[in-house]
């Protein structure tokens, strides 16, 4: 790997540590939402200068540590086997992988995952034995998250709120428990407001997003549902369903995509039939899902074909599948044992809340699988997968294990091909460019101006070598 786009700003910052360098702020620690971005690399710069391999080694070590913490969290909250599944799924990566292979995001993202795992572990301990020390530890770790990883945790206040009001508040005596829950979330609110909202304006967009939905601008769910599909579905399937070359605003939308709808619906229904049709109460949910599918097909065809969006039939299909998967997850709350429902809801809600926090300030943006904004949703989906294995009945456990391992291995393979593509088409051309450039120009003095004549087929490589987004 080599520095790319915003990574170049880090090296400028390291060489001019007191200067602001874009969004990084002044000084070693920096300022604002991207505080500490250069901080962890500064000792490497002082030791070895501009040798990228050492910077990427630090990123690799941090990713390994974050994987270990994911494994330990699921092991302690569920059991050892579930922890191994969570660690395996997270280690397979690919989803949100730009968070880890860009220097600009990598260390902070891994650090945020580590701190989230520690926070959730402490809060779980508090939930189990009500010892005040675990709550105090949780507040302290929440502060560390807000201080060191605020660019990736502008959604995180919702996590303790969810935990409190789903797991703790509505128990007898109701008034007492509800009052204590409000008191316990107050420190999190104060820290979040002081360190996150004040530093990152994106946190304020959630209110505007909710208001727009209340005003029936439902097309703004397009980015959220499409990104949710991207989070779950294999990339090869997404490429078949929504090819990049597909034309915009197709007149024959229904006829072009009906075969994919039928394949998708048939596959989901077959899985449901295999798992649930033997039991009478599950037949009701089977019928509910079928009715929802028919209604959702009509609704998605109406609200997402609008002048406010420039979309293809394939993109609408991906959005349709996102709605299907979301409804299936909702039905899952009723399909599992009652004692597991609260934690099921909390974990899956965490997946959605992170995604919604980014959709709120850019509702029509589809975040591709490798996008750094999906990294925390990926964390929660790996924990959710391990939880499904933990709560599954013995006769379904092997099937769920096969699905999870298959999903993880698919991500691992797709991640390999993605990184190979980065090396071949981004890293190597840039490396060759700078090698040639150093041969041609031995020295650059301050104030020199250099002009490049860039061929049309080299503009991408030229941008890779220089651009800072």
pLDDT tens-digit series, residues 45-88: 999 999 999 999 999 999 999 999 999 999 999 999 999 999 99
State the Cα–Cα distance between residues 426 and 423, nearest whole angstrom: 6
Q: Sign of torsion, CA 439 441 442 446?
A: negative
Secondary structure of residue 70 in the 3-state scheme: helix
Tell me the torsion sign for CA atoms 37, 39, 40, 44.
positive
- Quote the crossing angle between the two packed helices 313-335 and 222-232, to the nearest 10°: 70
Query: Where is pLDDT greater, at 291 or 413?
Result: 413
CB 30 within 8 A of CB 38: yes
Question: What's the whole-model pTM score?
Answer: 0.89
Is the pLDDT assigned to residue 250 strictly greater than 50? no
Tokens at residue 48, please?
């070895």
Question: pLDDT band for position 125 (50/70/90)?
Answer: very high
pLDDT of residue 278: 55
Rg (C-alpha) for the chain, rounded Å, is 24
Q: Examine the pLDDT at 146 and tell me if it is beyond 50.
A: yes
pLDDT-derived band of residue 202, with 50, 70 and 90 as boundaries?
low
**Averaged over 5-31, what is the pLDDT?**
88
Q: Among 40-54, 298-312, 336-350, 404-418, which stretch is predicted with the lowest mean pLDDT?
A: 298-312
Q: What percent of the chain has pLDDT over 70?
A: 89
For 228-241, write each residue's pLDDT tens digit: 999 998 888 888 77
């Amino acid at each position: 790997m080599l520095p790319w786009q915003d990574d170049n700003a880090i090296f400028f910052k390291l060489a001019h540590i007191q200067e602001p360098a874009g969004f990084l702020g002044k000084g070693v620690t920096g300022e604002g939402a991207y505080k500490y971005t250069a901080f962890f690399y500064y000792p490497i710069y002082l030791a070895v200068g501009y040798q990228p391999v050492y910077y990427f080694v630090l990123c690799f070590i941090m990713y390994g540590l974050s994987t270990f913490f994911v494994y330990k969290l699921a092991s302690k909250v569920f059991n050892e086997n579930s922890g191994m599944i969570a660690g395996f799924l997270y280690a397979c990566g690919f989803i949100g992988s730009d968070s880890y292979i860009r220097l600009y995001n990598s260390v902070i993202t891994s650090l945020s995952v580590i701190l989230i795992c520690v926070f959730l572990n402490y809060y779980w301990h508090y939930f189990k034995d009500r010892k005040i020390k675990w709550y105090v530890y949780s507040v302290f770790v929440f502060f560390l998250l807000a201080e060191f990883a605020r660019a990736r945790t502008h959604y995180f206040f919702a996590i303790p709120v969810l935990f409190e009001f789903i797991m703790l508040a509505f128990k007898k005596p109701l008034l007492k428990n509800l009052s204590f829950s409000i008191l316990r979330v107050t420190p999190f609110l104060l820290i979040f407001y002081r360190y996150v909202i004040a530093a990152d304006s994106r946190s304020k967009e959630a209110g505007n997003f909710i208001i727009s939905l209340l005003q029936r601008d439902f097309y703004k769910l397009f980015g959220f549902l499409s990104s949710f599909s991207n989070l779950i579905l294999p990339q090869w399937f997404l490429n078949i369903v929504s090819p990049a070359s597909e034309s915009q605003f197709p007149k024959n939308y229904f006829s072009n995509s009906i075969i994919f709808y039928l394949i998708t619906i048939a596959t989901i229904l077959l899985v449901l039939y295999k798992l649930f049709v033997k039991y009478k109460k599950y037949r009701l949910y089977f019928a509910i899902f079928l009715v929802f599918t028919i209604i959702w097909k009509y609704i998605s065809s109406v609200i997402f074909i609008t002048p406010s969006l420039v979309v293809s039939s394939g993109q609408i299909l991906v959005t349709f599948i996102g709605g299907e998967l979301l409804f299936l997850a909702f039905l899952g709350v009723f399909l599992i044992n009652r004692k597991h429902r609260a934690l099921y809801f909390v974990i899956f809600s965490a997946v959605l809340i992170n995604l919604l926090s980014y959709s709120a300030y850019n509702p029509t943006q589809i975040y591709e699988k490798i996008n750094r904004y999906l990294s925390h949703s990926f964390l929660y989906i790996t924990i959710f997968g391990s939880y499904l294995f933990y709560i599954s009945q013995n006769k379904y456990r092997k099937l769920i294990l096969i699905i999870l391992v298959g999903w993880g291995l698919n991500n691992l393979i797709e991640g390999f091909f993605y990184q190979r593509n980065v090396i071949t088409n981004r890293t190597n051309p840039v490396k060759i460019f700078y090698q040639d450039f150093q041969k041609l120009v031995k020295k650059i003095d301050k104030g020199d101006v250099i002009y490049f004549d860039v061929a049309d087929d080299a503009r991408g490589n030229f941008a890779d070598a220089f651009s800072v987004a």
